[in-house]
């Protein structure tokens, strides 16, 4: 050991140098693995995984809609769903719910399911556990002040998560839900593109991401084709709670 610390030329030997580098990275890995309190959330890859789909044989899929702002797109989306008798699951942000209680009631009153999209629309993996906890709790409290029932599902803003997010949500009684198929409606790529994309990527048990915020200006235009196409393929459209019945949660990311 005396040679190692007094003669730095020792580190010039390739084998010794490589060993030192390995030890440094190994120590960093285990520190990160076991100390979420020491390092910022989001620094390390998540070991816990959210729900991406439901593994099942029944030909069922779920349309989900995130809402964080606006009031123009939602009525158009609800009208299409009503006309086609399609139940869906809506993930709603707390601040939007505070200012749009009647719209929340309209969603709930049309046999759709309501889940939490958090309170502040931020990437939660960048924040400590207490901030994550407060974000999830506050949104849930707001939603319950408007409707009688909120599903035990939490979709983190921007689909951003890590171990802290998933574990904290679970401690509060929520499963973190991402998606298996992204419509890309938030990019407004055109109704035909969205319809084709979903019909090509869908599979039994798929959770499909759409939006009912005003930034998604084409969602309602794509929905009739999406619904018709899914039904032509033999799929039934159900809420997330219904989709989970008789199935196994899929936690491997299929995207």
Give the single-character DSSP code of 44: S
CA atoms of 13 and 67, how far apart (whole Å): 59
- What single string gives the DSSP state of each residue in 167-231? HHHHHTT-EEB--SEE--GGG---HHHHHHHHHHH--TTBEEEEE-STT--SHHHHHHHHHHHHH
Q: Same domain, yes or no, for 7 and 111?
A: no
Q: Same domain, yes or no, for 243 and 195?
A: yes
Residue 224 to residues 16, 79, 208, 218, 229: CA-CA distances in angstroms? 65, 11, 15, 11, 8
Q: What's the burial of 49, exposed, middle or buried (CB within 10 Å: 0-12/13-18/19+)?
A: middle
Encode pLDDT of 162-199 as tens digits: 999 999 999 999 999 999 999 999 999 999 999 999 99
User: Within a domain: residue 171?
Assistant: yes
User: Within a domain: residue 45?
Assistant: no
The encoded tokens of residue 130 equal 């207490």
Q: Same domain, yes or no, for 102 and 162?
A: yes
Q: Phi then psi for 208, rounded to 5 degrees? A: -105, 130
Q: Same domain, yes or no, for 104 and 163?
A: yes
Structural domain harbouring 10:
2-34
Residues with catalytic function? 66, 211
Model pLDDT, residue 126: 96
Q: Same domain, yes or no, for 59 and 18?
A: no
Q: Is the pLDDT of residue 16 over 60?
A: no
Categorize the per-residue pLDDT at 48 as very low, low, confident or very high, splitting at 50, 70 and 90.
confident
Encode pLDDT of 226-246 as tens digits: 999 999 999 999 999 999 999
Residue range 90-103: mean pLDDT, rounded:
96
Q: Same domain, yes or no, for 10 and 132?
A: no
């Amino acid at each position: 050991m005396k040679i190692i610390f007094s003669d730095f030329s020792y580190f010039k030997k390739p084998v010794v140098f490589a060993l030192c580098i390995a030890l440094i990275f190994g120590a960093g890995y285990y520190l990160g693995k076991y100390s979420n309190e020491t390092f910022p959330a989001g620094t390390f890859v998540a070991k816990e995984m959210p729900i991406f789909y439901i593994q099942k044989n029944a030909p069922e899929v779920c349309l989900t809609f995130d809402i964080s702002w606006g009031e123009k797109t939602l009525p158009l989306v609800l009208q299409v769903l009503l006309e086609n008798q399609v139940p869906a699951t809506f993930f709603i942000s707390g601040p939007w719910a505070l200012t749009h209680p009647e719209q929340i009631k309209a969603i709930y009153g049309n046999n759709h399911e309501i889940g939490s999209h958090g309170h502040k629309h931020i990437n939660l993996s960048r924040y400590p556990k207490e901030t994550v906890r407060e974000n999830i709790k506050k949104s849930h409290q707001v939603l319950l002040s408007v409707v009688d029932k909120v599903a035990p599902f939490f979709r983190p803003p921007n689909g951003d998560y890590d171990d802290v997010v998933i574990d904290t949500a679970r401690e509060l009684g929520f499963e973190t839900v991402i998606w298996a198929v992204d419509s890309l409606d938030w990019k407004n790529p055109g109704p035909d593109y969205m319809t084709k994309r979903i019909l090509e990527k869908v599979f039994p048990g798929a959770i499909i991401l759409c939006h009912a915020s005003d930034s998604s200006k084409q969602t309602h235009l794509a929905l009739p084709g999406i619904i018709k196409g899914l039904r032509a393929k033999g799929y039934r459209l159900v809420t997330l709670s219904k989709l989970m019945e008789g199935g196994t949660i899929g936690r491997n990311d299929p995207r």
